[in-house]
């Protein structure tokens, strides 16, 4: 009787119930976005990010005429990230409310929460799905442009040093299966990257991003979190110390598509949170309305956001087939 009194065909009654069901459905879902992006707020239709070159190095006092040495930072490529609008909704017939079909009502609202969650998580791995090409499918399968500000795919063997120096290039692309040796080679390569002035970028690869297929191989390299295990290299017959165990964070992302199950990515988490951007213009909002003629209540989820990378130098990808 209490439930019947609570659930009535009135917007002021239905909307709070729908919102509560929606929030409950979203409560315990793992969000990979904060692990992969700098999450920030946006106040514009489109945000502009100006690429900055190497910081340069300090100068000795006597070589700068005994005064402070003022250096300039060259501009790199500019990146625009547009906020797009996304929506989904569910309809609840008045008969469901009158007949207290609570399970069906909950199922429909839960399915909306699931759709919102999966949409955002699939969008969050588009930069991985399309890391090796300038165009590719988005979360719904429509082809979009995923080239970086330098005109290259995120992971490419031909990243130019700067807009004014396209002759010198460096690579963040490989094709090796995930092993301790391939991680080691990749980590060394990333630490040898230089900026537009030829100085070290000081990249520290500390994150390994994989699909579930490579989870076992990844944890063999990185070790299990909070586990006291012998720090030996996997498969070693000589008890060689595994220098990476305990120093690498593994992100196993189930939203990476099966066709990329063997691919893997090494990342510098600090630089990833600097150059991989997820910007909220309008976080998901819920609302409802009832239609007088059709006796249908409509419940919506709607929001605006954008995402993209401004520089490639946070990641090294292996396109393994």
Question: Can you list the domains of the chain with their CATH numbers?
Answer: 2-57+77-318 (3.90.1690)
Beta pairing partners, 160: 169
Quote the tokens at residue 228: 């006291």
Q: What is the pLDDT of residues 205-224, one digit of tens each?
A: 999 999 999 999 999 888 87
pLDDT for 201 equals 95
Report the distance separating Cα 171 and Cα 155, nearest Å: 8
Least-confidence region, from 10-24, 81-95, 183-197, 266-280 = 10-24
pTM higher than 0.85: yes
If one compares 73 and 147, the residue with the highest pLDDT of the two is 147
Residue 184 pLDDT > 80, yes or no?
Answer: yes
Instruction: Tell me what the pLDDT averaged over the chain comes to.
Output: 90
Report the distance separating Cα 171 and Cα 147, nearest Å: 15
Quote the tokens at residue 145: 């442009």
CA angle 102, 108, 113 (to 5 degrees): 120
The sign of the torsion formed by the CA atoms of 143, 262, 188, 231 equals: positive
Q: What is the pLDDT of residues 6-17, one digit of tens each?
A: 667 666 678 888
Q: What is the pLDDT of residues 140-177, one digit of tens each?
A: 999 999 999 999 999 999 999 999 999 999 999 999 99
- The model's confidence at residue 278, banded by pLDDT at 50, 70 and 90, is very high
C-alpha distances in Å from residue 177, one per residue of 102, 119, 204, 253: 49, 29, 21, 17
C-alpha distances in Å from residue 95, one per residue of 13, 138, 289: 15, 38, 16
- The model's confidence at residue 236, banded by pLDDT at 50, 70 and 90, is low
Which bin fits 39, alpha (ψ -120 to 50), beta or left (φ > 0)? beta
């Amino acid at each position: 009787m209490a439930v019947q009194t609570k659930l009535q065909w009135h917007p002021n009654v239905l909307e709070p119930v729908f919102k509560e069901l929606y929030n409950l459905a979203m409560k315990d879902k793992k969000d990979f976005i904060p692990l992969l992006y700098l999450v920030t707020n946006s106040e514009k239709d489109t945000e502009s990010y100006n690429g900055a070159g190497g910081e340069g190095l300090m100068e000795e006092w006597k070589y700068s005429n005994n005064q402070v040495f003022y250096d300039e930072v060259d501009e790199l490529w500019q990146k625009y990230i547009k906020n797009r609008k996304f929506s989904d909704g569910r309809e609840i017939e008045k008969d469901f409310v009158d007949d207290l079909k609570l399970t069906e009502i909950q199922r429909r609202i839960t399915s909306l929460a699931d759709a919102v969650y999966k949409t955002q998580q699939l969008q969050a791995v588009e930069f991985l799905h399309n890391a090796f090409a300038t165009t590719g499918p988005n979360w719904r399968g429509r082809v979009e442009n995923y080239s970086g500000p330098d005109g290259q795919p995120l992971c490419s063997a031909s990243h130019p040093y700067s807009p004014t120096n396209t002759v010198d290039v460096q690579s963040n692309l490989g094709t090796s299966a995930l092993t301790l040796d391939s991680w080691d080679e990749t980590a060394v390569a990333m630490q040898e990257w230089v900026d537009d002035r030829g100085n070290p970028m000081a990249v520290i690869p500390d994150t390994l991003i994989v699909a579930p297929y490579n989870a076992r191989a990844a944890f063999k390299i990185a070790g299990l979190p909070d586990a006291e295990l012998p720090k030996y290299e996997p498969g070693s017959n000589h008890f060689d110390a595994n220098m990476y165990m305990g120093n690498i964070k593994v992100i196993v992302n189930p939203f990476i598509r099966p066709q990329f199950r063997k691919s893997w990515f090494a990342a510098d988490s600090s630089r990833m949170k600097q150059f991989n951007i997820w910007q909220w213009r309008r976080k998901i909002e819920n609302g409802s309305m009832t239609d007088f003629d059709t006796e249908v209540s409509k419940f919506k989820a709607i929001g605006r956001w954008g995402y993209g990378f401004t520089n490639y130098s946070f990641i090294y990808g292996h396109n393994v087939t």
